[in-house]
Structure 1
Amino acid sequence: MSLGDIFSDAIKYPFSDITKFLIVGVIAVLAGLSSIVMSFKVHSFSVYGIASIIGFIFSLVLAGYGVSVIRNGISLSDEIPDIDLKANLYDGVNALIIAIVYLIIPVIVFVILMAVFGVIGASIDHAVAALGLVSIVAIVLFIIFGILEVIALAKFADTNDLGEALSFREVYGDVKNIGIGKIILFLIIQFIIIAVAGIISSLIGYIPFVGIIISQLVVGAFITLFSQRALGLLFIDD
């Protein structure tokens, strides 16, 4: 499947069922509840704390729902999946575990390299020079593991097996089969489209009182459905 076909399908997909689109939007609003509370300048720590907890839970639900969208993309189903809070929360927790595992490795390597190259506790001149070199290595590592994490999430959606998603050999095999160049180009195009959606979201956010809610409702739902649908279609090429 060409990238043109993938993104053409993924852009239209969120609007194929407006009712479900809006339901996903409500979940996105709840996931961003702490930001909404902040925008209304609510200074109560307890209110903000409760909003943060609710937001975190529904962020997991939204992430897990995204996994179900990936599954439908892999199976070439044009249907937008229903919300299933229990299943979505389960998938969301697994998605968080996958993200942490693939993030923590480059972080650990970065810290080790800082110690090896004497960045920590060194003179300013030496620290700056060493930090520059370590930063380049770190950026490359974060890009590599970022790519692996994206495909690992799709792997989990396909197999429903966390062990396979955390198997670097399995995930690397999928990356090779899809093509590293195609994945990088896919991520660049996806980033551009999401960035444009983000700009639109920011503009909507300027609407007094309801702007941030409308932004989360519409743009939040679009980004979730679009990005995960595109990933599911990309994974078919494995």
Structure 2
Amino acid sequence: MDLREIIVDAIKYPISDTRKFLIFCVLIILMSLSTILPSYGVRDGTLSIILTLVTLVVLFIVLGYSIEVLKGGTEGDEVLPDFDYVKQFVLGIKAFILDIIYFIIPAIITIIVASAAGLFTSLTKIIYASTDALNNGANNLTAVMNAVPQSAINTFSSALTVTLIIGIILFIIFSLMSFTGMVRFAKSGSGTEGLRFKEIIKDMSNIGFIKIIVSLIVIYIFVIVMMFIIGLIGLIPYIGVFIGIFVGLPFTILFVYRAIGLVYAEA
């Protein structure tokens, strides 16, 4: 499928089965109650704890169902998958752990780079020098900055620049890999498959790195537009938030996972 066909298919997909779509909408509402009700003045402590637990459970079910939508996209399924709450709850937990792993790896590497570049050491020197200056009567920013060694400022600036560049590059690389890893996980149900980096690179190569990047950019532009529309709907007094969450958010989630599944159908 070309990119236009992928987007059109993903737009139509959420309403391929109205009943299942409405069930998914209800799950999103349940998942959101812990944040919505306090804005309406509901702040009971016990209720908040219950709603938080409900949010966590439903979050994993929604994530697990989204993984099955992803799988359906890779296999060419035309309608929304059936609901199996226990199975999808387990899938959601596995997917959540997989996401954490893909976040932790670049985070650890970035921290190591920052430390090696002297970011933390120079920041510590700047903080100590600034604190001493304030204790000695410095009463404006200029006086405080004059008390900080220029070498510490230079090292901090250089280290911060290097860390940001490497961090951004790693984030992009691991984000792309995480999508592919999640597809492998969706197909097999095995978290280990989602971490086979050699196979992940091979899958990405088969599809084409440029196609993946361009497709994801277009998908997220659509998401930004949807979020803007949901935000406008949310301005409607009282019911706006519920309409936006009940329709807009579920539609967007299903669109994203369907579109990504279609992109990776060739893997």
Give the alignment's TM-score, normalised by structure 2.
Answer: 0.85
Structure 2 Cα separation of the partners of residues 161 and 87 of structure 1: 13
Match of 1:53 in 2: 53
Bigger shift: residues 16-25 or 99-108 = 16-25
Shift of 1:61: 0.8
How far does the alpha carbon of each residue in 1:215-235 deviate from its partner, in whole angstroms, 9 at most, with x for none? 111012101211111111111
Match of 1:134 in 2: 163
Shift of 1:2: 1.0
How far does the alpha carbon of each residue in 1:11-48 deviate from its partner, in whole angstroms, 9 at most, with x for none? 11112222211111111111222221232233334333
How far does the alpha carbon of each residue in 1:139-189 deviate from its partner, in whole angstroms, 9 at most, with x for none? 000000001111111111112221111111121111111111111111101
AA matched with 2:52 = S
Structure 1 Cα separation of the partners of residues 40 and 154 of structure 2: 45
Gaps of 5+ in 1: none
Q: Does 1:176 align with 2:195?
A: no
Bigger shift: residues 186-195 or 167-176 = 167-176
Which residue among 199, 209, 217 is the counterpart of 2:246?
A: 217
Is the 8 Å Cα contact of residues 69 and 232 (structure 1) preserved in structure 2? yes
Gaps of 5+ in 2: 123-151
Match of 2:42 in 1: 42
Structure 2 Cα separation of the partners of residues 116 and 50 of structure 1: 45
Match of 2:80 in 1: 80
Which residue among 175, 178, 187 is the counterpart of 2:216?
A: 187
Is the 8 Å Cα contact of residues 22 and 221 (structure 1) preserved in structure 2? no
AA matched with 1:91 = L
AA matched with 2:19 = T
Matches for 1:155-174 after TM superposition, within 5 Å? 155-174=184-203
Structure 2 Cα separation of the partners of residues 151 and 50 of structure 1: 35
Shift of 1:67: 0.8
Shift of 1:65: 0.3
Is the 8 Å Cα contact of residues 206 and 212 (structure 1) preserved in structure 2? yes
Structure 2 Cα separation of the partners of residues 164 and 129 of structure 1: 39
AA matched with 1:216 = I
Shift of 1:138: 0.3
Is the 8 Å Cα contact of residues 37 and 51 (structure 1) preserved in structure 2? no
How far does the alpha carbon of each residue in 1:98-124 deviate from its partner, in whole angstroms, 9 at most, with x for none? 101111000001111111000003023
Match of 2:91 in 1: 91
Give the alignment's TM-score, normalised by structure 1.
Answer: 0.95
Percent of aligned positions that are identical: 35
Question: Size of the alignment, in residue pairs?
Answer: 238
Structure 2 Cα separation of the partners of residues 182 and 45 of structure 1: 49
The alignment yields a C-alpha RMSD, in angstroms, of 1.4
Is the 8 Å Cα contact of residues 37 and 48 (structure 1) preserved in structure 2? no
AA matched with 1:105 = I
Q: Does 1:200 align with 2:216?
A: no
Give the SS at the match of 2:120.
coil
Shift of 1:209: 2.3
Shift of 1:90: 0.9
Match of 2:69 in 1: 69
Structure 1 Cα separation of the partners of residues 82 and 242 of structure 2: 22
Structure 2 Cα separation of the partners of residues 144 and 41 of structure 1: 43
Distance 1:128 1:41, change over 3 A: farther
Bigger shift: residues 165-174 or 206-215 = 206-215
